[in-house]
Amino acid sequence: MAADRRDIDPSLAPPAAERTTAAEMIDQLSRFDGPPEQFLANLVAMQCQIAQAEAGAILRGGPARRTEILAVYPALERGATAPPWLAEAVESAAQVANDGVTSAKALRSPDELYGQPARRHLVMVPIKGERGVRGIAVFVVEARDAFSLAASRERLELSAGLLTVYEMRLTLQRRQLDIQRLRQAMETLSAVNAHDRFNGAAMTLCNEVATRWQADRVSLGFLKGRYVQLRAMSHTEKFVRKTQMVQDVEAAMEECLDQDLEVIHPVSPEATYVCRATADLAARHGQQAIVSVPLRHASETVAVLTVERPIDRPFTAEEIESLRLACDLCTARVVTLEKHDRWIGARAAAGVRKGLAWAVGTKHTWAKAVVILLVGVTVFLIVAKGVYRVESPFALEAVERQVVPAPFDGYLKEVLVMPDDPVEADKTVLARLDTADMRLRLARAKRDQVRYQLEAQAAKGQFKEAEAQIAQAQADKAKAEMDLLDYEIARAEIKSPLSGRIITGDLKRQIGAPVKTGDVLFEVAPVENLRAELYVPEDQIAEVVEGQTGELATASYPELRVRFEVERINPVAELVKQRNVFKVRVKLAEAYPWMRPGMEGVAKIDIGPAHYAWIWSRRLINWVRMELWI
């Protein structure tokens, strides 16, 4: 594996005779504020010295499960092959990262005898962060016994914490820089807000930027028509617009505004923006470092701030970011003053001009098309008329329906029909109840009848009239019980009392279940004769009268419209699905074979012609009237 070369700080890895103490090296690293690459190289060198390791490296998991080498000590030559210990560390890095604990692995050389303790060890220390292991520190340590190895591991684990200290210092520095940048921008905004007139605010903005960013000249220009006009310049009460300097500044501002991004001079080799006018400004009026920042308001670039200072002090990225923040904070105040700090005639003319430019210009084409469309729709709603309809949900129901109850207490023995099966009155057997117990009782009653009749005859032969009458009465009682049982057994075969279809009663899975007298087992209805029941909201029921017509569509056939006529309106409201509704019964003009009781959909009752504006706004108007009691 090839590794990049890392430069090690010579102060941390001097010759053995001049080597600094561990405390001095730790103190140097604790105060180190250089780049991260140099810190990692110095850290590895320091850890190798305090742990008496012959080599070390810092690894990090990269994309696609690849391991990256961040620092190596001693540094490898460019293009050199990684030593065996480093290759082995790369292979074991993933396992150590998953375990999250320090690992020590023996490194054996070919000249070591079999069974002899290893002299060199590969110590891998996980570097932990807030989200788990971030990297692995790997070192080759020579130790004769376990005590020396443990001491080296402890030094390496303790010294790895210097990386956290370094990161905390960098974070603190960044936060301090951000606070300083925000403070600088807020102080500039405070100075601008102290003025109520545009000229004072613009001059203060230029002077504050010139002072805080140590600039020779700061200029502020606003877009007027298609060109940028210079409106304020630092430490300058008046300026002549025809001078070459003012024209060059305005050209540089227009260059920035056209590109809508910061233009910086001297330009970097990676820059992709145009910097010709800015370069001309710098060349004609003394070599200057220049930055132009666009000022945006309501998503539009309305002004440009140009800052100039000597070429030997070019603008850094941090200074440009601070300047951008100050401009973003001050733009709203300056733009508002620029628009309103005029006499009333100028403001009215600007408003009219802006409105006419928006109406007849080439911009905002879609917005204008939408406005025209809205005007057309409004005229159509006011003038055109349509049929006003009351819309409500409905459910189909049979005009006639018959329930089939259980004739007596018993158990279901057999179910012969399913929902939607056709049945004929008094012919189709729907189900049978279990009669085994009744037949057993019938046989017992027959036996008792015969026995009592024989007892009555014997009593008559012996002229025992009283006993004969008692035995005959018992025989008559057994006969009555037999008749009742025969009647119940006949009723155990449940038949349909009405011709039609089964609409409820899926009892196939309840065979053997007990039933009680009066339990509804089936419902039969002739599906050829159906009607619909509408649920009209109470705020629209006043417009519905008997005899009105309309159309309905079911959810199963939404494309098919069925005509109907209102037959009856229930005078009492009911609560259906948390809504107060009135049930309206309607007669269907025609029925279809696919229609079944219980089907639902949407019905619309034709009320009469009305303007579309009234049709679509009446509910809102009524609601407002109720809320405001108008």
For range 252-270, the mean pLDDT: 90
Please give the structure tokens belonging to residue 105.
Answer: 């692995």
Whether 243 maps to a domain, the answer reads: yes
Is 451 or 342 the better-scoring residue by pLDDT?
A: 451
Q: Three-state SS for 83?
A: coil
Q: How far apart are CA 544 and CA 608, in angstroms?
A: 11
pLDDT of residue 20: 58
Give how many domains the chain has, as a whole number: 4
pLDDT of res. 268: 85
Provide mean pLDDT across the span 27-52: 80
Cβ contacts of residue 283 below 8 Å, gap of 6+? none
Which pLDDT score is estimated for 16? 41
- Residue 173: predicted pLDDT: 78
CA 569 – CA 535 distance, rounded (Å): 10
The number of angstroms, rounded, from the C-alpha of 564 to the middle of its chain's C-alpha atoms is: 46
Pick the closest to residue 233 from 246, 251, 224, 242 (CA basis): 246
Percent pLDDT > 90 in the chain is: 20
Rounded to an integer, what is the distance from CA 607 to the centroid of its chain?
A: 44
Q: Is residue 290 part of a domain?
A: yes
Better pLDDT: 436 or 363: 436
Q: Range with the lowest mean pLDDT among 13-22, 143-152, 483-492? A: 13-22
Q: What is the pLDDT of residue 12?
A: 42
Average pLDDT over residues 249-266: 92
Rounded CA gap, 7 and 504, in Å?
88
Position 587: which residue type? K
Model pLDDT, residue 361: 63
Q: How many CB atoms neighbour CB 108 within 10 A?
A: 13
pLDDT band for position 256 (50/70/90)? very high
Same domain, 568 and 601: yes
Q: Which two tokens stand for residue 71?
A: 């620092």
In this prediction, residue 567 has a pLDDT band, given cuts at 50, 70 and 90, of very high
In angstroms, rounded to a whole number, what is the distance separating the alpha carbons of residues 151 and 51?
Answer: 8
The CATH number linked to 584 is 2.40.30.170
Q: What is the pLDDT of residue 252?
A: 92
The domain boundary residue, chosen from 322, 346, 370: 346
User: Is residue 473 within 8 Å of 454, Cβ to Cβ?
Assistant: no
- Domain extent, residue 73, equals 16-160
Last residue of a domain, one of 472, 505, 523: 523
DSSP state, residue 519: -
Structure tokens at 9: 């700080």
CATH of the domain at 294: 3.30.450.40
Mean pLDDT within 200-205 = 92
Residues 89 and 228 in one domain: no
Letter string b/e over residues 499-536, b meaning 16 or more CB atoms within 10 A of that residue's CB: bbbbbbbebeeeeeeebeeeeebbbbbebeebbbbbbb
Confidence of residue 359 (pLDDT cuts 50, 70, 90): low
Mean pLDDT of 535-555: 92
Same domain, 31 and 72: yes
Please tell me whether residue 621 adopts helix, strand or coil conformation. helix
Strands ordered across the beta sheet of 132-142 = 67-73, 53-61, 132-142, 120-129, 103-107
Using a pLDDT cut of 70, give the percent of the chain over it.
91
Indicate the range of 111-125, 373-387, 389-403 predicted with least confidence.
Answer: 111-125
Q: DSSP for 188-222, please give it.
A: HHHHHHT-SSHHHHHHHHHHHHHHHTT-SEEEEEE
Produce one character per residue of 48-77: b if its CB has 16 or more CB atoms within 10 Å, e if not: bbbbebebbbbbbbeeeeebebbbbbebbe
Residues 538 and 484 occupy one common structural domain: no
Please give the residue that has the higher pLDDT: either 377 or 80: 377
Average pLDDT over residues 435-447: 86
Write the pLDDT tens digit of every residue in 157-184: 787 777 777 778 878 878 888 888 888 8
> Are 29 and 152 in the same domain?
yes
Quick one: 22 and 143 in the same domain?
Answer: yes
Residue 595 lies in a domain: yes
Any domain includes 117: yes
pLDDT at 400: 79
> CA 139 to CA 116: how far, in whole Å?
22
The DSSP-derived string for 406-427 is -SSSEEEEEE---TT-EE-TTT
Has residue 292 got a pLDDT over 90? yes
Residue 380 belongs to some domain of the structure: no
How far apart CA 483 and CA 476 sit, in angstroms, is: 11
Mean per-residue pLDDT for 41-55?
A: 83
Average pLDDT of the chain?
A: 83
Give mean pLDDT, residues 206-211. 92
Q: pLDDT band at 413, cuts 50/70/90? A: confident
The predicted pLDDT at position 600 comes to 93
Residue 383: pLDDT band with limits 50, 70, 90: confident
Same domain, 21 and 108: yes
* Cβ within 8 Å of residue 496, ≥6 positions away: 402, 404, 423, 424, 425, 426, 427, 428, 430, 522, 524
How buried is 240 (Cβ within 10 angstroms: 0-12 exposed, 13-18 middle, 19+ buried)? Answer: exposed
Task: With respect to residue 621, please indicate whether it lies within any of the assigned structural domains.
Answer: yes
- Between these two residues, 130 and 225, which has the higher pLDDT value? 225
Model confidence at 358, in pLDDT bands (50, 70, 90)? low
Same domain flag for 25 and 139: yes
Q: Look at residue 14 in the predicted model and tell me its pLDDT.
A: 43
Most trustworthy range by pLDDT among 19-33, 459-473, 534-548: 534-548
3-state SS string for 233-264: ECCECCCCCCCHHHHHHHHHHHHHHHHCCCEE
170: in domain = no
The total of other beta-carbon atoms located within 10 Å of residue 233's CB is: 23
Per residue in 59-83, pLDDT tens?
887 666 778 888 888 887 777 777 8
Cα 431 to Cα 482: distance, rounded to the nearest angstrom: 23
Residues 23 and 140 in one domain: yes
pLDDT of residue 357: 61
Q: Check: CB of residue 189 under 8 Å from CB of residue 181.
A: no
Q: Is 435 helix (H, G, I), strand (E, B) or coil?
A: coil
User: 468 and 533 share a domain?
Assistant: no
Identify the domain boundary among 494, 523, 552. Answer: 523
- The Cα–Cα gap between 491 and 508 comes to 20
Q: Which residue has the higher pLDDT, 33 or 195?
A: 195
CA distances 526 to 234, 521, 597, Å, are 96, 17, 10
Residue 9 confidence (pLDDT): 46
Range 329-350 average pLDDT: 78
478 and 534, same domain (yes or no)? no
pLDDT recorded at residue 410: 85
pLDDT of residue 495: 84
Which structure tokens are listed for 430? 């729907």
> In sequence order, what E strands does 11-62 have?
53-61
Q: What mean pLDDT is predicted for residues 540-567?
A: 92
**133 and 40 housed in the same domain:** yes
The residues, ordered by sequence, that sit 6+ positions from 29 with a Cβ below 8 Å of its Cβ are 12, 39, 42, 43, 46, 162, 166
Element (H, E) at 114: none
Q: Are 532 and 603 in contact (CB under 8 A)?
A: yes
pLDDT at 398: 85
Does residue 361 form part of some domain? no
